[in-house]
Amino acid sequence: MDYKKYILPHIWNLKPYSSARDEFKGSDGIFLDANENPIGSGLEENYNRYPDPLQWQIKGQLAQIKKCSEGEIFIGNGSDEAIDLLIRMTCTSDSSSIIICPPTYGMYEVSASINNVPLTKVNLTPEYQLNIDSILKAINSSTRLIFICSPNNPTGNLMNRQDIYKILDSFKTGFIVIDEAYIDFSEEPSFIQELNKFPQLIVLQTLSKAYGLASLRLGMAFANPTIIKLLNKIKPPYNIGGATQRLVQKALSDSHFVTESVKQLKVNKQQLIADLKHINGVSTIFHSDANFILVKFIRAQELFDYLISKKIIARNRSNVELCNDSIRITIGLESENKELIQQINIFYTKNNV
Ligand SMILES: Cc1ncc(COP(=O)(O)O)c(C=O)c1O
């Protein structure tokens, strides 16, 4: 793939900010280059030095976990940062466009709007799968990015793998972004292992879900090293803070927590589904490969408001196209799910459903 053709020229030619520590690699020395405070931070741990702009230690760990090379990894301040940078790298408002497949994660549209880039929406099928023929028809010479979320938010299901291959086989004049934020909860292998076959493929993952590190803000893009170098050029130099880097290194050194919590959340999900099946007001429980379920309820809006009044906060999707009367419920602790079920039962009993 001739990447230069599909990257905005001013980005391709950009001379990036050179950070103070670019000329010296090492941790020992007298550092008088970055106008830091040499005395410390006044905290238990010191954060007075700028963090590694390219987060090499974390990339070393991730390369092993994700079975790819360090050069194929970009680290962002959440995968939301990667979404925004990918748009800024490839799209202008007058000559580019993006395809998304609603109902899907809201930030693709928000980031496109922030960057004033036209968006084509090709809705999922009623079964929440990719509408392949319509996607292929919607692709034109201005298409630079296609976002595919799998498992999809808010529907929870994986996209059919063969359908994704069809798009990868037919669209080569821009980039296909597969957002795998919830992949750790599914049984499906990641598309990271397909990077060698598809030069236009970009995979997004995050530590915000299965890894339990949403507050630290760390997301990843996996792609050909040419793409990764461009993302690194346009990101703010120190986009991942030192506290996040330290804590993430620690978290990644032990996979026990992730394995165990994914296992536990799957058990909790099955229990929650079993309990919901006994409730008359539940119309449909959609199949989920993620750590949440989309559920269609009778009188969904009223139920949602009632739950809020009981301080149980779910995500009301009942006004989203193809999700009418549906609420997205994150799988909680066993006790939290029990309380939710109890309150849903009280609501329907009161309303004679
Ligand atoms: C599909 C999807 N992608 C990306 C994100 C953002 O993740 P991060 O916390 O890494 O920005 C989310 C968050 O909910 C999501 O649902």
Structural domains in the chain?
Answer: 3-17+24-252 (3.40.640.10), 257-350 (3.90.1150.10)
Ligand 1 atom with least separation from CA of 152: 1
Task: Tell me if 125 sits within 8 A of 171, measured CB to CB.
Answer: no
Given a cut of 80, whether residue 19 has pLDDT beyond it is no
Q: Which residues line ligand 1 (CB under 6 A)?
A: 78-80, 105, 149, 153, 179, 181, 206, 208, 214, 219
Q: Give this prediction's pTM.
A: 0.97
User: For residue 24, which amino acid is it?
Assistant: F
Report the separation in Å between the CA atom of 151 and the middle of ligand 1, taken as the mean of its atom positions. Answer: 11
> What is the phi/psi pair of residue 236, to 5°?
-60, 140
Q: What is the DSSP letter of 341?
A: H
CA-207 nearest atom, ligand 1: 10
pLDDT, tens only, 209-262: 999 999 999 999 999 999 999 999 999 999 999 999 999 999 999 999 999 999
Instruction: State the pLDDT at residue 26.
Output: 77
Which tokens is 252 given? Answer: 């990644």
Q: Cis ω on the peptide bond leading into residue 154 (within 30° of 0)?
A: yes
Q: Which atom of ligand 1 is nearest to the CA of 208?
A: 9
How far, in Å, is the centroid of ligand 1 from the Cα of 157? 15
Nearest-angstrom CA–CA distance, 353 and 338: 20
Residue 23 clears pLDDT 80, i.e. is over it: no
For ligand 1, the distance from its centroid to the CA atom of residue 79, given in whole angstroms, is: 6
Q: pLDDT tens digit string along 179-194?
A: 999 999 999 999 999 9
- Residue of 77, 79, 150, 248 to mutate, ligand 1, most atoms within 8 A of C-beta: 79
In this predicted structure, the answer to whether residue 24 has a pLDDT above a threshold of 80 is no
Residue minimizing CA distance to atom 3 of ligand 1 = 181
**Per-residue model confidence (pLDDT) at position 27:** 79
Task: Kindly tell me if the per-residue pLDDT of 325 is higher than 90.
Answer: yes
In this prediction, residues 256-272 reach a mean pLDDT of 98
User: So what's the pLDDT on residue 210?
Assistant: 97
